Structure 1
């Protein structure tokens, strides 16, 4: 009788080992399947391209201030227009610092302020939205900047025809 009682114990031990081995094999297979799934996923998409690279020849801090503003269409009116802009300091055009390092100004035909930066790409200096390349149609070309007078010409010929060359004279 003792032998018969031993056999069921051995059978239980053997079947327990088989269950343990089976459980280990199942866990291992599940782990391998999960690892295989993780390695077959597509890589994340690359980040979107950043803004165009250019130099900023006019620091934004030097543009912040109050300005008299006037415009001309004929080059011979430039001197007279500068005097008219100076007279507009009683109702100044205000350029403030932008949230991302530029300055806040109005674009053509847009009633809301937009952050713009000075930019150049090996040629003339422009002022316009930072996401646009230097010389884009929304830009203005800097014709003069001496720290006191800023003269800007719209790049877009149609806009320039309507608005003319803008003269900003810093108010004291």
Structure 2
């Protein structure tokens, strides 16, 4: 009798172990996939922006032409945009004392922005490109508070 109980217990343990092993080996449902960030293009390359720029800013649209002339004079103490380590370009974000690597980004056919590469186009910290022709770059901050303090930025490429 004692032997049959022992055999029964061992059989039960073996059956439970087999069930546990079967559960562990059955394929699990795949983890949910996070939605991908929309793909964006870079209509302005880092190579187009790297260099020395005169910089000025305006708050009223009627001051745009005068500000462009002031930006040309800023080439005496240029704003330097350098190449970033990951293919972007180095510029300062609002209220930052060190430059960050930024990229140009756009979801076609929408506007072009300059901002952090890991954020979607049009994020609060981005700047909208109002004009770019290779020699003049005009950027508007999307954050209304920052725009109110810094205004619309005008960059004019400095002569070589």
TM-score by length of 2: 0.77
* Distance in 2 (alpha carbons) for counterparts of 1:44 and 1:90: 59
Aligned to 2:149: 162
Aligned 1:22-33 pairs, distance under 5 A: none
The counterpart of 1:84, out of the listed 53, 65, 70, is 70
User: Alignment length, in residue pairs?
Assistant: 140
Residues 1:113 and 2:102 are matched in the alignment: no
The residue that corresponds to 1:54 in the other structure is: 40
Q: Within 2, Cα distance between the matches of 1:111 and 1:82?
A: 25
Q: Identify which of 29, 52, 65 aligns with 2:51.
A: 65
Per-residue displacement from partner, 1:50-107 (whole Å, max 9, x unpaired)? 7642111111111100000000000010001001000011100000011111100001
Contact kept in structure 2, 1:65 and 1:94, CA below 8 Å: yes
Q: Secondary structure at the match of 1:87?
A: helix
Counterpart of 1:146 in structure 2 is 133
Q: Distance in 2 between matches of 1:53 and 1:154?
A: 22
Q: CA RMSD in A?
A: 2.3
Rg (Cα) greater in structure: 1
Check 1:61–1:70 CA distance in 2 against 1; reply closer, same or farther (3 A cut). same
Flag structure 2 segments of 5+ consecutive residues without an equivalent.
1-13
Q: How far off its partner does 1:46 sit? A: 7.9
How does the TM-score come out when normalised to structure 1? 0.72
1:39 offset after TM fit, Å? 3.8
Structure 1 or 2: larger helix share?
1
The runs of 5 or more residues in structure 1 that have no matched partner are 1-28
**Deviation readout 1:11-68 (Å, 9 max, x if unpaired):** xxxxxxxxxxxxxxxxxx9xx99xx497479799789877642111111111100000
